[in-house]
Amino acid sequence: MTVDIEAVRHRSAQQKVQLPQMYGAVDFGVRPERFTVDPNVESFMRAEMVSERPRLLANQEKVATIEAFTMLGDEVSDAYVALMPELGFRKLTQMLAQACAEGVDSVEDAPPELRALIEDMERVPAWLDMDKVREGARLERNFSAHVIPLIIRGAFVGTFMNTYAALPMSLTGALSERTAAKRVKETGAYFISSVMPSALDRYGLGFHSAAMVRLMHSMVRFNLLRKGKWDSEVYGIPIPQVDQMPAGMMPIFLLGLSVLNKGRDYFTPEEQAWVECVRYRCFLLGLPEELLPDTPREIVDIMATRHATLRKAYDDKICGDLVRATMGADLEPDDSRTSRLRDRYGRSLAKLFFVKSFVNGDRKRAAEMGMALTPGDYGRAAALGALIGVRLGTYHVLTKIPATQNWADARLVAKLERELERMGYAEFTTDESTYSSADSTSA
């Protein structure tokens, strides 16, 4: 896909004109400190891909694409949230929920900004094949039912390993175990809800949840930027489009890596269906199509270029506090014996997943961050991992057999419904009163 870099830069600069109350203090002509193409500056790359950095930086189009989207928020959602001083966040949330559930025409005196947001989400990209999306969601249900609830804590803290990307979450006051638990549950609930039957259809649960996630991200941008204390010359803008790539695209990034390592440069039909489901989920979340390629090489390279140009920075007061608060959060709905066992075993598995995935297995560094692994953690993680493996394998077989596939899928849906109930209702809101000042924090 060829990217019109100048058009993206123009869109970024227009944010200052269209939403001066948010972007008025941002200098879109300055390359933020977080973005680097200096080969002598260490970047936020996965250890196994560091050797690829020279090749990635040599691709000027991809580098320019990532730089341009580093300064782009969510134009339509931001414009809607900019109405908050006039309408209040509760009214904005209620109107958006109604527009998702009943259509925007059902909202009395719907502002044009709400219509623009809904129309943006209703837009059908040329590449969209909803049959493939539904098939991809069906294939993902096994993983979502048996793995996501148990590793979501470990995967969530992985987004806090870079100061530049983690700062917005830190400034929202998400350092307490209570608020960290809320965010983890919301994230888990979103991904689980997105693979339910017809969830990504226009009136599906996933469509609704995606709209609420966009609203929450825009609320964070609005509350940080309008205070005039966010240092855009260092951090760019809060939650730019490129910082939504890791959480949204990580499944197909890892799939792409696996495919390329096997010597293939294409996805199988089943893999492609999963890719299309993830791409459309990201599209609904507001990621530009330029960041959503569909081949193994392009997916790996666009994500790796984001990492190759993100300056490495780890501030323990920002990143470490977020990691420790998240790992210490209580995600269980009650204090029953089952919940206590689930918490203990799940916490061990999440810690091991985090250490292997985000600190390259460095146990010493993990311990310094408050994530020390004990022999008990290894034992519990191994036992739980074995159980997960059996369940994944069993349902993989059952969903392939014509006589049992419908029954197995119905069982998976029931499991996912129970997980959503356990996680509770996801509010997808942010409390402005808990925010700290961006000018008091440095990388």
Q: 434 in a domain, yes or no?
A: no
Q: 98 in a domain, yes or no?
A: no
Q: What's the pLDDT band for 119 if we cut at 50, 70, 90?
A: very high
Model confidence at 443: pLDDT above 50 = no
The average pLDDT across 299-308 equals 96
pLDDT at position 184: 85
Number of structural domains the chain divides into = 1
Q: 19 in a domain, yes or no?
A: no
Domain span including residue 133: 50-81+124-425
CB atoms < 10 A from the CB of 433, how many?
6
pLDDT at position 175: 56
The average pLDDT across 45-53 equals 90
Model confidence at 429: pLDDT above 80 = no
Least confident range from 94-108, 117-131, 138-152, 315-329: namely 315-329
Model confidence at 435: pLDDT above 50 = no
Least confident range from 126-140, 234-248, 324-338: namely 324-338
Report yes or no: 87 and 102 within 8 Å, Cβ to Cβ: no
Q: 4 in a domain, yes or no?
A: no
Q: 29 in a domain, yes or no?
A: no
DSSP line for 282-338:
HHHTT--GGG---SHHHHHHHHHHHHHTBB----IIIIIHHHHHHHH----SS--HH
Q: 332 in a domain, yes or no?
A: yes
pLDDT at position 92: 96
Tell me what the pLDDT averaged over the chain comes to: 90
Half-sphere exposure of 389 (CA within 13 A, CB side): 6
Q: 112 in a domain, yes or no?
A: no
- When mean pLDDT is compared over 177-191, 362-376, 382-396, the highest value belongs to 382-396
pLDDT at position 441: 46
DSSP line for 73-120:
--HHHHHHHTTHHHH-HHHHHHHHHHHHHH-GGGSTT--HHHHHHHHH
pLDDT at position 258: 95
pLDDT at position 426: 52
More confident residue, 165 or 154: 165
Q: 380 in a domain, yes or no?
A: yes
Q: How far apart are CA 140 and CA 144, in angstroms?
A: 6
Lookup result for tokens 């009395």 = 108
Would the pTM of this model clear 0.75, i.e. be above it? yes
